[in-house]
Amino acid sequence: MITTCPHCQKKLKLNKAQQARLQQTLDELAPGKRLTIKCPSCKRPIRIAANGTSEINGSTAVLPPAPPDIEWLRKERFQDEEKIEDVPMALLLYPENSERAAVREAVEQVGYQVFIAETVQEARDRMRFVNFACVTLHSRFEGESLEDSSFHAYMREMAMQRRRYIFYILIGPEFHTLYDLQALTSSANLVVNERDIKHLDVVLRKAIPSFEELFSPLLEKMGLFGKG
């Protein structure tokens, strides 16, 4: 029986009576039919097969792995103090609040020069002339969800010969910090929950070297062939 939303990965929190009604409805489904319910958290539709498995875009969803255990982060057990030698540029799109200053400070601590864009148009204009190595976007910068973000759509549609050089970070209440699967499905390199912003510099020191280790050999090779 489905217990989590395949879209936002949050628990559905069905009580015993609701579970019983759901199971009864599934048992009564005609062959080949699907039951559609709405996630109470993200409000997106969930299609459920008679066997209780959820479906996304018509195919049975593979149960995703659980978010990573980041208890070490909250206990400040991560000791890697590696410094980034370059001074790359970072673009920050974040609502003007107390968190924005903390995010900027954390990004600067790992070696980036940060430019804050107040609007999407300003951000896109800057990106026309500056090769930003890092872009950080809050999921509520433009609306109530990431799906409302024209800038996120712009990043997703960006040509790969440019996109692969950008470390794209998404921050928001719906994310699980350092959850690679959620980052992948969101077309990002890293996702961070708002409650972990106080540890963002540590998160970046872990995530950025992993990104560089994975992609640097490929980027260097493609650069040699003039494809970078």
Instruction: Divide the 228 residues of the chain into consecutive groups of 10 and give the mean pLDDT of each group.
Output: 77 79 80 79 79 59 69 59 62 95 95 95 94 96 92 95 92 95 94 96 87 53 43
Q: 72-97: string of b/e by CB count within 10 Å (b at 16+)?
A: ebeeeeeeeeeebeeeeebbbbbeee
Q: Distance (Å, rounded) from C-alpha 224 to C-alpha 44? A: 45
CATH numeric code, 71-224 = 3.40.50.2300
Q: Provide the pLDDT for residue 203.
A: 95
Q: Provide the pLDDT for residue 133.
A: 92
Q: Provide the pLDDT for residue 84.
A: 42
Please state the domain extents for the chain: 16-60, 71-224
Q: Distance (Å, rounded) from C-alpha 20 to C-alpha 22? A: 5
Tokens of 214: 């994975």
Q: Single out the residue of 165, 168, 166, 156 nearest to residue 227, CA to CA.
A: 165
Q: Provide the pLDDT for residue 199.
A: 95
37: Cα within 13 Å, side-chain hemisphere: 22
